[in-house]
Amino acid sequence: MSLVKSTATIGGYTLLSRVLGFLRDVTIASTLGASFLSDAFFIAFKLPNFLRRLFAEGAFNSAFVPMFAGQLAVDGKEQARRFSSEAMSFLLLIVLIVTAIFILFMPYMMFLLAPGFESNPAKFALTVTLTRITMPYIIFISLVSLLGGILNSGDKFAAVAATPIIMNLCLIIIPFFIDRWTPTGAHGLAVAVMISGIAQWLWLVYFCRKMGVLPRLVRPRLSPDVKKLLLLIAPAALGAGVAQVNLFIDLIIASQFPSGVSYLYYADRISELPLAVIGIAVGTALLPMLSRQIREGRHAEAHHSQNRAIELSLFLCLPAAVALIVIAEPVITVMFQRGRFDAGDTVATFHALIAFAIGLPAFILVKIVSPAFYAHRDTRTPFKIAAFCVLVNLVFNLLLMGPLRHVGMALATSIASWVNVALMTMVLARRHWFIASRNLLTQIGRILLSSLVMALALQVGKGIADPYIHMGEITRFTALLALVLLGLSGYFLTGWLLNTMGLRTLARRWLNKLPVS
């Protein structure tokens, strides 16, 4: 399957998931607002998700997928399945131990994770309770990450990309049915998080069994392959999860500010839409492809795949970042300002969104450049770069938290991500693991120019649309949609004139295929 087709498959399902995710977040914002309950739930939701992204999706998959894809290509399905069974059993043992430790010692860990909650005993106690409910989610979602890596290695992207849809449906539907039996809406959401992990795991078990690659539960042991996997995982735990480490540092510091956790959560959810649809989609499709190309010695093809992935990512993410910076206020107003989420919450959230949007291209490019290290079985270099970037993030957090409060947290994360991608690219280029083509540099210039034209169009359109953004639901959504369409029109029209990514050529080919009357 081609990179573009694989990305489209993953991105399409991810987009559907994010639409449902927005519906979920709109419901949460309307019900909980930016309040005591929302702060507690978001910490309880963030912790297992942080562990999932850092250790399961991040470190584990970054090490597991290249090894599994290589064995699948060279040694065959049975050998790859044996390795995946050993890896799954060892992963399950580790995750069970970690989950039990967190549940038992959660009150003490909360002093580290959300120290700002200590001054409010009721809020602190609620956060501990909700986090204990959500922690078993990490067990099932870690297995989901492993099964997803197996399916992605076999170019079966659709089932994996659809799993977040299940989670969002659970968080929308389940609280409605169990509301009468839970003390608060936050408790219902926490239960729904746990159930969604089980549902996603059962979903992928079905597809792995159908494909004939479902790993078996065996006695956990340190086989040679598992030892090799662990050696790769150790440094990758920070290398692949630097963005998550930085975001979690933001949350720890943001807990010092009233509703700071909630403001960062809502802003992050908006910025995560292009990150998931573009960055994660391209990165997920690129890693097994690069692993096979490098394993088989096709280095020229690997360089082409990397260049193409960067072109495609920037073509989609740069206009998204520019748009979020220019129309951050109407986006937050339309998406969240209703119920208990008031105008003051909108102002605090859209400023954080602008800060996250500044780093959006970097967040996405990290997903594109890091697979080159993992495909070469090098997880130490991303670890070293990530460790430095965590320090950069912490320094800027401390510098900016005074004047900018929670917005400083988001801006520090963006700065650290740009440092991360710059250092990674420099190392790859020095080792000749990445060679930027002339076409890539040309395309970046065209994409930047098209994005600037779009920004001007959005700035003019925002002034016209502003009165309608504060009217009824249908009017405000229509006004925001009109703004989005205006921006897209300006971007793609300029892109067509410049023939960015071959748009003019593709259009002519499509027109030539139309039937002539």
How do residues 86-119 score in pLDDT, each as one tens digit?
A: 888 988 898 899 899 989 998 888 887 777 777 7
* DSSP-H helix ranges across 405-502: 406-430, 438-469, 473-498
Please tell me the predicted confidence (pLDDT) of residue 511. Answer: 47
Please tell me the predicted confidence (pLDDT) of residue 8. Answer: 62
- In angstroms, the CA 451 to CA 319 distance is 5
Q: Which of 208-217, 246-255, 490-499 comes out lowest in average pLDDT?
A: 246-255
Give φ, ψ of 191 to 5 degrees.
Answer: -60, -40
Pick from 446, 462, 496: which is nearest to 318 by CA? 446
| pLDDT tens column, 160-198 | 878 888 988 998 899 888 888 888 888 989 999 999 999
- In angstroms, the CA 66 to CA 69 distance is 5
> Which residue did the predictor score with more confidence, 342 or 329?
329
| pLDDT tens column, 260-270 | 778 888 888 78
- In angstroms, the CA 505 to CA 496 distance is 9
Q: Which of 27-31, 107-111, 225-229, 245-249 comes out lowest in average pLDDT?
A: 245-249
What does the pLDDT average to over 505-517? 50
- Residue 488 predicted with pLDDT over 70: yes
| Average pLDDT along the chain | 81
What does the pLDDT average to over 469-495? 90
- Residue 231 predicted with pLDDT over 80: no
> Which residue did the predictor score with more confidence, 12 or 243?
12
> Which residue did the predictor score with more confidence, 118 or 334?
334
- In angstroms, the CA 149 to CA 56 distance is 10
Please tell me the predicted confidence (pLDDT) of residue 133. Answer: 93
- Which band of pLDDT confidence, cut at 50, 70 and 90, is reported for residue 517? very low
- Residue 443 predicted with pLDDT over 90: no
> Which residue did the predictor score with more confidence, 13 or 218?
218
- Residue 253 predicted with pLDDT over 70: yes
| pLDDT tens column, 372-416 | 787 777 777 887 888 888 889 889 988 998 888 889 988 998 999
Please tell me the predicted confidence (pLDDT) of residue 81. Answer: 84
> Which residue did the predictor score with more confidence, 285 or 394?
394
DSSP 275: I
Write out the DSSP string of 80-93: HHHHHHHHHHHHHH
Rg for the chain (alpha carbons), in Å?
23
Contacts for 417 with CB less than 8 Å, ≥ 6 apart? 242, 243, 246, 359, 362, 363, 366, 389
Give φ, ψ of 259 to 5 degrees.
Answer: 65, 10
Angle at which helix 242-254 crosses helix 360-375, to 10 degrees, equals 140
- In angstroms, the CA 433 to CA 412 distance is 29
Neighbours of 376 (CB within 10 A): 18
| pLDDT tens column, 18-72 | 778 778 877 777 777 767 788 888 888 877 877 776 655 556 766 777 788 777 7
| pLDDT tens column, 135-153 | 999 899 888 888 888 887 7
DSSP 39: H
Q: Which of 145-154, 282-291, 402-411, 465-474 comes out lowest in average pLDDT?
A: 282-291
Pick from 304, 200, 236: which is nearest to 66 by CA? 236
CA-CA-CA-CA torsion sign (384, 385, 391, 393):
negative
Please tell me the predicted confidence (pLDDT) of residue 11. Answer: 62
- Which band of pLDDT confidence, cut at 50, 70 and 90, is reported for residue 10? low
- Which band of pLDDT confidence, cut at 50, 70 and 90, is reported for residue 514? very low
- Residue 295 predicted with pLDDT over 80: no
- Residue 495 predicted with pLDDT over 70: yes
Q: Are the CB atoms for 31 and 340 separated by under 8 Å?
A: yes
Please tell me the predicted confidence (pLDDT) of residue 152. Answer: 76
- Which band of pLDDT confidence, cut at 50, 70 and 90, is reported for residue 322? very high
Q: Tell me the three state secondary structure of residue 237.
A: helix
DSSP 30: H
Q: Which of 64-68, 329-333, 355-359, 423-427 comes out lowest in average pLDDT?
A: 64-68
Give φ, ψ of 155 to 5 degrees.
Answer: 60, 30
- Residue 230 predicted with pLDDT over 50: yes
